[in-house]
Amino acid sequence: MLGFKATSYPLLVTSDRPTPTSIIRPNAARENTTKRSCSAAIPPVRVFGLKCLHGVDTMLEEIPVELATQIFHYAHADLPAISCASRKLHCLATPVLYASITLGSPGTAILCCSTLARTPSENPRYNLPALVRSFLILEFYGSHLLDKQKDKFLCSLCHAVEHMINLQRVAVKEYGLVTPRFWASITKYTGLKSLDIVIPHTNNYEMAQMEEVGFDKLRPGMPELVELRINICIDRVLPESYIALLQHLITSHSDQLHAFSLKSDAWDPQLFQTLLGPQNKFSSLETLTIPSGALNLECLRYMPKVHTLIVKEERMSRRAIKSMDSDFTLSLDTFPVLTTLTCPAYDLHAILPRDTNRAVQTVCLDEAFFDIAPGLQDCARLRSHSPEWTVVLDGLQYIPNSRGPVTDLSFRVEDLSLGRNLPSAIPFLGSVEKLMICHALELSISEDNASLRNDFFAQLPHLHTFIIGDSLMHSDDSENWFMHAHDNTLQRYLLEEWDKGSKDGGGTGLKNAALSLRLWWTNVEGMWVEKWTPIEGEEEEEEE
């Protein structure tokens, strides 16, 4: 029996394994039995005046939800019923809410870490840091708001992480938070399964911290680690002790990793060779992300299970990289089961040479993912990062070399004329079923309508999905304002014109199409049906 203090009020008494028959009602003789009826399985229970001073949270946590619902329902007063229901919901919701924490703003991060950094309660149910399984800090917008309290925040962050004894996933994408003290906090946990960190350049304060925490002696052992992502953002050489830690972290876990990512803003082949030397055996690796400068490393030959490869571009001109590696190609025994490839267009010659046996089916050039397709928020980024059409076309000529064949293709381009440029890529796109084009500058689909229908779509019988980023025209370039050049009426007209062409022996057999970010079209029994996709936050404004 759970212990309760005897009072003159009606009490709820329950055994360790409560059932409906274990509920009794003291002072039942004084109760007006005509007030409320209930089912025979669960007799009426009075909770008004309930005064369970010891063990009430444990009791509410252990009893079944169905039984607790009946108890709250048959209360004679709302306030105690709500109080008990609140306790029950708190017992159920707290572990769920604290299991995964994602911080995306400085204010939220400061408040959360200061709360979790407090001395944990002796009661395991109130030890909030111990409930955390996943802890993510995203890149802050307005990170300057953190400057005045950064030292205090870094201290509370380290203390909070030290108390998360059941932590399984850590991701820190904000710059300047992965300090030596933070490393000392996470490396003592053996249950980590995923680690994602950003390493900036090391300042004098962090150098002093290295000596304080014995940074050169930190050698983490994480037997359950399966995902490791390291983003190195440096403008100077990392200290040797830092490099030694990263090298140990990668080498000691290389044979158990399923996903590994090494990104770098700078071209540093020596650093890549040190961290990814031949001593690493990635025998279980399935997803790999590396910079372009690491494609020639010997360890890539010992990754027999990699099916997804992502190659990132460093801060170096495309022309310089291309001239440096124009003759390099991966050995035939590297990545034998590769099916998904993301890389800059100028790296395709190295990954898909003429005699390759790789059966790549999905190719994404220059990170032309759906989530960064050009639109109102991404125009500035695409203007500075998209390659010219000649660079893209040079890469597309290696698409037919895949034994896949390639069915899904997406690429970014700075300036493109659909009618003049796209037909030149037809010899390389014969197997493509899904094509997405992200462009940075203005397009005129309507002017190229006839050329697209007759010279492009008619030559690609397998193409069923055609996606293109927003066709934009300037409204006020000084303020970076843009407006859509194609509304839904014009888009429907273009799609119907393409269908008419297909009935005459040319045109398109498209089933899905998107000519802007706002509208998605599906062909249902010969009719184009639109689906409106609002910009984030637009729905709330319309409701107001």
Q: DSSP per residue over 278-300, as a string? A: TT---TT--EEEEEGGGTT-GGG
Contacts of 517 (CB under 8 A, 6+ apart): 373, 374, 375, 376, 469, 470, 533, 535
State the residue for tokens 């398109």: 508
The three-point CA angle 407-408-409 to 5° equals: 120
Structure confidence at residue 408 (pLDDT): 94
Averages of pLDDT over runs of 10 residues in the chain (544 residues) are 34 35 38 38 37 45 68 66 71 85 88 86 75 91 69 88 92 87 85 90 68 77 92 76 89 94 82 87 93 88 94 63 64 93 92 92 83 40 71 94 93 82 91 86 64 82 83 39 56 81 59 79 88 56 45
Q: Give domain status of residue 379, yes or no.
A: yes
Domain end point (choices 40, 68, 95): 95
User: What span, in angstroms and rounded, lies between the C-alpha atoms of 246 and 251?
Assistant: 8
The three-point CA angle 463-465-469 to 5° equals: 125
Q: Give domain status of residue 352, yes or no.
A: no
Structure confidence at residue 535 (pLDDT): 52
Structure confidence at residue 79 (pLDDT): 66
Q: Give domain status of residue 370, yes or no.
A: yes
CB 179 within 8 A of CB 151: no
- Phi then psi for 535, rounded to 5 degrees? -70, 150
Structure confidence at residue 207 (pLDDT): 67
Q: Give domain status of residue 368, yes or no.
A: yes
Q: Give domain status of residue 371, yes or no.
A: yes
Residue 171: exposure state from Cβ atoms within 10 A (0-12, 13-18, ≥19): middle
Provide the CB-side half-sphere exposure for 311 (13 A, CA): 21
What are the start-end ranges of the H helices in 252-367?
269-275, 318-324, 348-351
Q: Give domain status of residue 284, yes or no.
A: no
Instruction: Give the number of domains in the chain.
Output: 2
DSSP single-letter state for residue 74:
T
CB 528 within 8 A of CB 541: no
AA letter at 153: F
- Phi then psi for 77, rounded to 5 degrees? -140, 145
Domain end point (choices 49, 74, 95): 95
Domain end point (choices 39, 64, 95): 95
Give the residue from 503, 491, 501, 502 showing the smallest Cα distance to 528.
491
Give the residue from 388, 456, 395 showing the smallest Cα distance to 420.
456
| pTM for this predicted structure | 0.76
Structure confidence at residue 517 (pLDDT): 65
Q: Give domain status of residue 418, yes or no.
A: yes
Contacts of 64 (CB under 8 A, 6+ apart): 18
Q: Domain range holding 375?
A: 361-544
User: What span, in angstroms and rounded, lies between the C-alpha atoms of 151 and 167?
Assistant: 24
Structure confidence at residue 175 (pLDDT): 82
State the residue for tokens 């936050």: 537
Q: Give domain status of residue 522, yes or no.
A: yes
Contacts of 333 (CB under 8 A, 6+ apart): 301
Structure confidence at residue 97 (pLDDT): 87
AA letter at 484: H
User: What span, in angstroms and rounded, lies between the C-alpha atoms of 195 and 230?
Assistant: 8
DSSP single-letter state for residue 148:
G
